Chain A
Amino acid sequence: MPILEIKNLEVRFPMRGGELIAIRDISFSIDRGERLGIVGESGAGKSVAAFAILRLIGRPGYISGGQILFEGNDLARLSPEQLRQFRGNQITMIFQDPMMTLNPVLTIGTQMIECLQTHRGMGRKQARKVAVEKLRRVAIPSPEARIDQYPHELSGGMRQRVVIAIALLTDPAIIIADEPTTALDVTIQAEIMELLLALCETHQVALILITHDLGVVSEITQRAIVMYAGRIVEEGPTRDIIERARHPYTHGLIDALPERTHPGQRLNQIPGSMPSLVDIPPGCAFHPRCEHVTDLCQTRVPGYTLLDHARVACHWVAAQEQS
């Protein structure tokens, strides 16, 4: 029984002379305690998808269709008051840049206590105790002292730990992490990722990890979704996607990594670049860059071919499966 189910989600942004469809036909689900990765290059729509789950799409953008079912409640149709029971409470979010996420003029304690007072109705004293406890859990040294510091007094890695502690405050069922380590150095990234992984495992928290880094996805997640030009092009168990990607885009993306080629050899590259959302090619959006392109790809948007535990939106894969 999935804890969160997204059905045919679509987000549009009105523009001069028409509407831009940022994501279309996004459907996926996540089980309790599962770790799901959403991978894609910039402009693929992965962050829009994540923001849409929590209805954080800024105006003039809006959710133009689909359902976001959390334990049977459709988040897309709730009033703002009702939504607050879930957003920041049952489902929390970790953003990319911890300096932008934390309020620079409030101590981290104030920000944490505020959250507990709002969502849990706790008194200040008790909230402070819980906050210190959570800071300790994300391995911040001397949390009793740190809690009264301002964000600028902490290093980047420590700040992201604070953000994770805030995301854990309300014991959520799902954490959505949007590029949580992109702004950090590799050694810090490794620590934060290990921490996030351990916390999700011990607390049975489901994690939706949005990233462009296939290495991170490979190490953290159990299942992965690959997005291209606003659509899901492939979904499956992470191991299978990394080792036996079926969609030509996924395959090309993984093959383009330096570790897939001998040092000094020419890298495998995908020609061209991702189309802008204002002029997505007709048919399969990937067809101008694809080596297996046929006439069908240029005219018809591919549906999903279902494989064992996986699905792929590609005419070429569909034809292979039929024969």
Chain B
Amino acid sequence: MESSNRDRKAKLLEIRDLYKAFPLSNSLLEQLQFKHGRLVRNRESVHAINGVSLDMYPGDALCVVGESGCGKSTVARVVTGLLQPTSGSIVFDNQRIDHLPPKKQLPYRRRMQMIFQNPYASLNPRMTVRQTLEEPVRFHNPGIGNGELKQKVEEVMASVGVDPGWSNRFPHEFSGGQRQRISIARALTVDPELIVADEPISALDVSIQAQVLNLLMEAREQRSLTYLFITHDLAVVEHFGSRVAVMYLGAICELADTATLFDTPRHPYTQALLSAIPRLNRDRPPHIKLKGEIPTPINLPTGCLFQTRCLYADERCRQERPALKELNDGARVACHGVEEDRIE
């Protein structure tokens, strides 16, 4: 059912087979090692993303969840062009954008804007709220007149609840929630279609989180936005997301509609993750404990990336990496155990 109505809509964003590795910057001398009596050059890198493919359709709120170090923020940064992928491609509105020269990327960058986690670091402390909001409009519309610019900024300020009285004040005069409101306004001034939000509410207090989340949902309705929402907070995902991608060690292990994922988590990692959320009511299922700890992304495990911690891993899991396979309710799971019906 998921695929049928989606096929007709054009994809807004397509991530194909994305890989990103960060070389560990050792000097040449440090890289040289003796192996079997010969001098070998041994280059190490952190494998942050290991084969991620995702499609996003207009109106989606796709949440990417995972624990720290799973590569979710790197995905956000590669999509917005802040990082270059090692291999793979980013296709935005039928145009491959990752290999375009920076000048040619500009029109696409306007159509996707980013909101960052820490509103204390993402606003320029020496720019007033007005300057902060005007800069992106000027940058993307070089010929814009002052009257039109002012009108645009005021319209956005009113719609996200940024008081006109704040215009000439500086970021340090505002609380975290107010600053995040300003960052959201900044992202909206250029009328983007896709918002990439990297943990936009994690740095905020509970009562403020609700305010900002409501604001993001309102903006989605009023401006028909599409969200790529990066978070570690599963309660937020359940509330906000239309689809969820669960990441582990730089790869997607499960991708499904939010309701499907929370009702019937398939992948053993998703099951463990969901069982670990602290809940207000006490009648939640017992916590599923995983073996050991997340391996370092420098030396990836062979076979399935999750096999070192999986309770169901067998010989095939240790040899062969599972691909994302679609099940009959539209959920996609990368797990040999689920495919072979070994895991409930």
User: Residues of A with Cβ closer than 8 Å to B?
Assistant: 41-42, 155, 157-158, 185-191, 193-194, 212-216, 218-219, 242, 252-254, 256-261, 263-264, 266-271, 273-274
Q: State in angstroms the CA–CA spacing of A252 and B238 once bound together.
A: 20
Are the C-beta atoms of B207 and A270 separated by less than 8 Å?
yes
Q: Nearest 5 CB-CB pairs, A to B?
A: A215-B278, A258-B239, A190-B276, A185-B67, A256-B210
Range of interface residues on chain B? 35 or more
* Chain B 277-297 near chain A by CB (<8 Å), digits 1 or 0: 111111000010110011000
Are the C-beta atoms of B289 and A191 separated by less than 8 Å?
yes
Q: State in angstroms the CA–CA spacing of A242 and B283 once bound together.
A: 14
Q: List 16 A-B contacts (CB under 8 A).
A: A155-B293, A155-B294, A186-B232, A189-B276, A190-B278, A218-B279, A219-B278, A219-B279, A256-B206, A258-B240, A259-B238, A263-B239, A266-B217, A267-B239, A269-B214, A273-B178
* Chain B 248-289 near chain A by CB (<8 Å), digits 1 or 0: 000000000011000000000000110111111110000101
Q: Which of B207, B234, B258 contacts A253 (CB 8 A)?
A: B207
Given contacts A256-B206, A258-B239, contact A187 B213 (CB under 8 A): no
Other A-B pairs, 18, CB within 8 Å; known A219-B278, A256-B207, A264-B217: A155-B294, A187-B290, A193-B278, A194-B287, A215-B279, A216-B278, A218-B279, A218-B282, A219-B282, A252-B207, A257-B235, A258-B240, A259-B239, A259-B279, A267-B214, A268-B210, A273-B205, A273-B207
Are the C-beta atoms of B214 and A266 separated by less than 8 Å?
yes
Smallest CB gap from B269: residue in A = A187
Smallest CB gap from A183: residue in B = B68
Does B323 have its Cβ within 8 Å of any Cβ on chain A? no
Does B211 have its Cβ within 8 Å of any Cβ on chain A? yes
Q: Which of A158, A214, A258, A274 contacts B213 (CB 8 A)?
A: A258
Q: Which of B175, B276, B278, B281 contacts A213 (CB 8 A)?
A: B278
User: Residues of B with Cβ closer than 8 Å to A?
Assistant: 67-68, 175, 177-178, 205-211, 213-214, 217, 232, 234-236, 238-240, 258-259, 272-273, 275-282, 287, 289-290, 293-294
Q: State in angstroms the CA–CA spacing of A260 and B236 once bound together.
A: 11
Are the C-beta atoms of B293 and A157 separated by less than 8 Å?
yes
Are the C-beta atoms of B238 and A258 separated by less than 8 Å?
yes
Q: Which of A186, A214, A252, A257 contacts B276 (CB 8 A)?
A: A186
Are the C-beta atoms of A258 and B276 separated by less than 8 Å?
no
Are the C-beta atoms of B273 and A186 separated by less than 8 Å?
yes
Given contacts A190-B278, A219-B278, A264-B239, contact A185 B232 (CB under 8 A): yes
Q: State in angstroms the CA–CA spacing of A212 and B209 once bound together.
A: 12
Q: State in angstroms the CA–CA spacing of A257 and B208 once bound together.
A: 11
Are the C-beta atoms of B258 and A263 separated by less than 8 Å?
yes
Are the C-beta atoms of A190 and B287 separated by less than 8 Å?
yes
Smallest CB gap from B209: residue in A = A256
Q: State in angstroms the CA–CA spacing of A241 and B26 once bound together.
A: 55
Q: Which of A42, A218, A264, A270 contacts B210 (CB 8 A)?
A: A270
Q: State in angstroms the CA–CA spacing of A218 and B215 once bound together.
A: 28
Q: State in angstroms the CA–CA spacing of A188 and B287 once bound together.
A: 11
Given contacts A157-B293, A259-B279, contact A274 B205 (CB under 8 A): yes
Are the C-beta atoms of A269 and B217 separated by less than 8 Å?
no
- B73 CB, nearest partner CB in chain A, Å: 14
- A40 CB, nearest partner CB in chain B, Å: 9
Q: Which of B205, B211, B213, B282 contacts A41 (CB 8 A)?
A: B205
- Which B residues are CB-close (under 8 A) to A213? 278
Q: Which of A41, A218, A253, A263 contacts B278 (CB 8 A)?
A: A218
Q: State in angstroms the CA–CA spacing of A214 and B281 once bound together.
A: 11
- Which B residues are CB-close (under 8 A) to A269? 207, 210-211, 214
- A192 CB, nearest partner CB in chain B, Å: 11
- Which B residues are CB-close (under 8 A) to A257? 206, 210, 235, 280
- Which B residues are CB-close (under 8 A) to A258? 210, 213, 235-236, 238-240
Given contacts A187-B276, A212-B205, contact A261 B239 (CB under 8 A): yes
- A115 CB, nearest partner CB in chain B, Å: 26
Smallest CB gap from A42: residue in B = B205
Smallest CB gap from B234: residue in A = A186
Q: State in angstroms the CA–CA spacing of A27 and B91 once bound together.
A: 60
- B218 CB, nearest partner CB in chain A, Å: 8
- A181 CB, nearest partner CB in chain B, Å: 9
Q: Which of A155, A216, A270, A273 contacts B175 (CB 8 A)?
A: A273
- Which A residues are CB-close (under 8 A) to B239? 258-259, 261, 263-264, 267
- Which A residues are CB-close (under 8 A) to B217? 264, 266
Q: State in angstroms the CA–CA spacing of A142 and B168 once bound together.
A: 60
Are the C-beta atoms of A214 and B232 separated by less than 8 Å?
no
Are the C-beta atoms of B213 and A267 separated by less than 8 Å?
yes
Smallest CB gap from B69: residue in A = A185
- Which B residues are CB-close (under 8 A) to A188? 67
Are the C-beta atoms of A41 and B207 separated by less than 8 Å?
yes
- B23 CB, nearest partner CB in chain A, Å: 22
Q: State in angstroms the CA–CA spacing of A186 and B70 once bound together.
A: 13
